[in-house]
Amino acid sequence: MDVMSAIMGRRSVRRFKPLPVEPEKIETLKDALIWAPSAGNLQSRFFYFVYNDEVKKKLAASALGQKSIVEAPVVIVGCADLTVGDYYRERGIDLYCIQDLSCSIENMMLAAHALGLGSVWVGAFDEVAVAEILNLPRHLRPLAMVPAGYPAETPRPPRRMAPEEAIIEIR
Amino acid sequence: MDVMSAIMGRRSVRRFKPLPVEPEKIETLKDALIWAPSAGNLQSRFFYFVYNDEVKKKLAASALGQKSIVEAPVVIVGCADLTVGDYYRERGIDLYCIQDLSCSIENMMLAAHALGLGSVWVGAFDEVAVAEILNLPRHLRPLAMVPAGYPAETPRPPRRMAPEEAIIEIR
């Protein structure tokens, strides 16, 4: 699938078929995560691929009970790596590692769509609870939870701003 | 260009040919920005496309004198829209709007690569200076500066972590 078709055709998918994701597709999702840009190429991010039902239930409970997290065959938890602060100080911790992680997640969601998979970015969760569930080391901050799998729904495109609402040109 | 080729083939390009970017390609870049996901579909972001040489010089001065900003035919400045805080409070201001903006910028960099354009994410700049240069309203925080144009260099791929360095699977 070409880049712009993926960018414009990707939707947030919250219902999934009870089918596993093939290992080769999982490997492609990993490549998409890893090949995102990052500040100073420090790659200040780390990921957990969760397939275990008990762990998914706990993650869902930490995220206002979102059912998509339990229903999806795999849930990717994206973490910012705060050791970026050793190099970039506060701007690294408060900004760059969030941007690095976000580029990875967006890459992965586009790749998923191109593979016929659906996914959704879940951002509303209790970070402390997730850190406990996954037994995260102290330098990892969980910032995105992405259930992914074969879609069981076809959402319509949400409204987007027109270019003139979101962009100014300076000539 | 297919999605994974764009994800894996995109490089940070800092040297540009003295050629303008065609208007139809600019429109595609805008679509890529606008169609990124966002928390609650609030689209908490705003963009400036800067073509003006005097403004580019000032932006470069605010970013440690990075020459790519002056050399590129267009510089896209991405801002987080802090009014997201009205809805999502601190988590909106400190996290969601940064993620929303980052997804847009990553989309645009992939689209640029697919169009034969190069770009680079500049993150190290004086936000207060940029706000003054662009006369930003108080609710916009500049967080990414992206020079873009036809590449005058072909950078080699930087090292990336192996999947096992960046990912743990929980089964």
Model confidence at B102, in pLDDT bands (50, 70, 90)?
A: very high
Tokens 């809805």 map to which residue? B87
* Contact yes or no for A102 and B99 at CB 8 A: yes
The per-residue pLDDT for range A117-163, each reduced to its tens digit, is 999 999 999 999 999 999 999 999 999 999 999 999 999 999 999 99
* C-alpha atoms less than 13 angstroms from C-alpha of B170 in its C-beta half-sphere: 18
Indicate the SS3 state at residue B103.
helix
B32-85 pLDDT, tens digit each: 999 999 999 999 999 999 999 999 999 999 999 999 999 999 999 999 999 999
Rounded to whole angstroms, the Cα distance separating A117 from A147 reads 10
Question: What are the residue ranges spanned by the domains of chain A?
Answer: 26-151
Q: Which residues of B touch A98 (CB under 8 A)?
A: 95, 98-99, 102
Contacts of B99 (CB under 8 A, 6+ apart): A98, A102, A105, A121, A123, A143, A144, B38, B39
Using a pLDDT cut of 90, give the percent of chain B over it: 100
CB pairs under 8 A between A and B: 193
Dump pLDDT digits (tens) for B151-160: 999 999 999 9
Q: How confident is the model at residue B99 (pLDDT cuts 50, 70, 90)?
A: very high
| Per-residue model confidence (pLDDT) at position B84 | 95
Q: What's the pLDDT score for residue A132?
A: 98
- Nearest by CB to residue B31, choosing from A8, A46, A144, is A8
User: CATH topology for A26-151?
Assistant: NADH Oxidase (3.40.109)
Both tokens of residue A96? 């760059």
Q: What would the pLDDT profile of A103-113 be if each residue is shown by its tens digit?
A: 999 999 999 99
| Architecture, CATH, for domain B3-7+20-152 | 3-Layer(aba) Sandwich (3.40)
Q: How much is the pLDDT for A166? A: 98
Other CB atoms closer than 10 Å to residue A142's CB: what's the count?
Answer: 24
d(CA B92, CA B13): 31
Number of helices and strands in chain B (H, E): 8, 5
Pure H helices in A35-162 = 53-61, 67-71, 85-91, 97-114, 127-133
- Chain A hits for B6, CB-CB cut-off 8 Å, are 3
> Residues of B with CB below 8 A from A83's CB?
none
